[in-house]
Structure 1
Amino acid sequence: MKYFTPRSYLVWLAVALGLESTSCNKYFTPHGQATYTKFQIDSTLADDPTFIRLYEPYKQQLDAEMNRVIGYADTALTKPSGVPETRLGNFFADALLAEGQKRYPDAVFSFGTKGGLRIELQKGNITVGNLFELMPFENELVLLELSGDSVLQLARFIAATGGQPVSGLRMRIDKGKAADITVAGKPVERSRTYKLITYDYLANGGDNSRGLSNPVSRINLGEKVRETLITYVSEQTQAGKHINTQLDGRIIHNQ
């Protein structure tokens, strides 16, 4: 399924306005005599009926896709501050791992950050637009193969930041330190490697993440994170399931 993006919006708008690009130039250039009018962009600017008629069919198509219901949440997926584990974070990380494992079954855990999740999902219908709002960025999935030492460094980052969205990894935070770290149900071994599903922003050092900068190997999967979420929710629905993510103690914070 294809989704509207800012770039695709600009393409159809340029075509509609009579602009086109040359074969070796990605920029649009006007044909004929160009004229310019300066408008003050504020509340006094009246709607232009001609322009509205121009874009309204595309807006209706976009609105229909964004409002399309693809799933149902049995409980609100929230991300309260000051807690190490959230329903929204668990849902997000579980979706990344499930989708990543379709292509790489030996991927054993996933990782994201709380700051990248822009909205909470309320109980009830989940639309395509909800998931665009949740992850509005152009981030793409990445498979990283990490050494055991890098996994431990990542766990220390998670502990120092009070917990982050993970799946397949479990740990305890004790006075800001990582303890009892397991991946796929087993203690982390420094001598082996582990395959992680995350996204390029974090793999490139975003959010000051630690442990991801020196992977044994890296594969860019070429799939937008929001497309992953849409696919995950849609397939749960096709299987007759609702989204019912719960807290399961994957990260515990000792006071």
Structure 2
Amino acid sequence: MIEIHEVTKKFKDKKVHVTALKHVSFTVQKGQVVGLLGENGAGKTTLLRTIATLLVPTEGHVTVAEYDSVKQATEVKKRIGVLFGGETGLYNRLTARENLEYFATLYGLSKHETKVRIDDLAKMFGMRDYLNRKVGDFSKGMRQKVAIARTLIHNPDIILFDEPTTGLDITSSNVFRQLVHQLKRDGKTIIFSSHIMEEVSMLCDSVAMMHKGELVYHGAIEELYKSEGSKDLNYIFTSKLVRGNDEYAS
């Protein structure tokens, strides 16, 4: 479970204070897949970084699997897998296999566990042909596949994806979507941000919509469709932004 309680995050940009998150609160239950929606600059990545212990809230607090993200950050890190858009976290001079082996070591996996996990992930993402090539020579899509595999190498219970299908072709995007379905069947808890509404509709149990650092909606996607009288998520999202958080109901 993830509990976000009255989280505010402020940054100082030269002499100007920027509030990236404004009293954001919602809960993600174990095994849920939540789509995080918002325009660029809405605060999605800041929120994910806060959950992942990479940022400390200015106000409020986050708990992940009942561990405080600030006071017990090490315990939180053991239980999450994180992938941020544009940041693969891979080493160009190492092969895909060597990268995955390195991160598996950081998480304390044995050599046998590492080999099994790499073989399974390579098969899942169609990486066998380039598993022993250096990452520096990879296309954006190839790097993204390895980065997703890195995120999952330690079989985390909670997974945070920021624009996970960026750079992936249609086939690879479909593989990712199948992966999310499998992770859900395995009882994993997932939050992922995406600008692809079809992807969110297909994969998510619920959605959290953000606008200018504020949460304007959080709830089950089917309930959202029912309350709005539409299944057009693009239309609903735009409508919610226009109305702001006055009608917000969790």
Greater Rg over alpha carbons, structure? 1
Q: Which structure is higher in helix share?
A: 2
Q: Same fold (TM over 0.5)?
A: no
Q: TM-score range by the shorter chain?
A: under 0.3
Normalising by structure 2, report the TM-score.
0.27
Q: TM-score, normalised by structure 1?
A: 0.26
